[in-house]
Amino acid sequence: MSEKAPNHFAGQLLVAMPQMRDRRFARSVIYMCAHNPEGAMGLVVNRLVGSLKFPELLTQLGIEAKPGLDEIRVHFGGPVESGRGFVLHSADYVRDGTMVVNNEIALTATVDILKAIAGGEGPRQSLLALGYAGWGPGQLDTEMQANGWLTVPADFGLVFDDNVDDKWTRAIGKIGVNLQHLSGEAGHA
């Protein structure tokens, strides 16, 4: 682990470098929820799960939705525990089981948040994901040193907006990087 404080990537975006070889993460943008000596965890925020819709998910869980509920798209959060749901959301909703990442964003993985959203009483903003991206102790640090990822300051709008198609390009653009100048070679002095 690096000498930075524990959880130093939490609340930031990991953006896959163009040469990312793992197809599961190519051109992905991951909101980091936790990063400490035990490992790291985040949710991919720019990929949707094929055809699954929120009302179908609620029906499968036996939850009745309030009429007129806004359509919520289901995201591919990552390859770990892909059958488990996670809700990344605004920090105005905090209950038992909620992990507050920072003063703007939190994560809840209980069925109670789905019931609250279905009843129109959930958080102001939310992103529903199936699965998560996870790294074991030191694994993410090794990938960072190998130039697999860029870190980008997260912004609320980018994390929660519905335009997933160009989110990767916009995330890289936040730090003023020209895609043609990115190299997969690690630089060492």
Query: Tens digits of per-residue pLDDT, 142-153?
Result: 999 998 999 999
The answer to whether 85 and 114 are in contact (CB under 8 A) is yes
* 71: its two tokens: 């359509």
CB 107 within 8 A of CB 129: no
- The predicted pLDDT at position 188 comes to 40
Q: Count CB atoms within 10 A of the CB of residue 183.
A: 10
Candidates 179, 183, 181; CA nearest to 168 is 179
Please report how many Cα atoms fall inside a 13 Å half-sphere around the Cα of residue 70, on the Cβ side. 14
Rounded distance between C-alpha atoms, residue 148 and residue 156, angstroms: 24
* Tens-digit pLDDT profile for residues 169-182: 999 998 887 665 55
Tens digit of pLDDT for each residue in 75-105?
A: 999 999 998 999 999 999 999 999 999 999 9
Looking at 3.40.50.2300, 3.40.1740.10, 3.30.70.330, 3.40.50.720, the CATH number of the domain 12-181 comes to 3.40.1740.10
- Nearest CA to 79 out of 146, 159, 134, 17 is that of 134
- Mean predicted confidence (pLDDT) in 39-67: 88
Strands 73-76 and 126-135: parallel
CB 60 within 8 A of CB 115: no
Which residues on adjacent β-strands are paired with residue 36? 39
> Could you give the residue ranges of the DSSP H alpha helices within 18-165?
54-61, 111-118, 139-145, 156-160
- How much is the pLDDT for 127? 94
Q: Indicate the pTM of the whole model.
A: 0.88
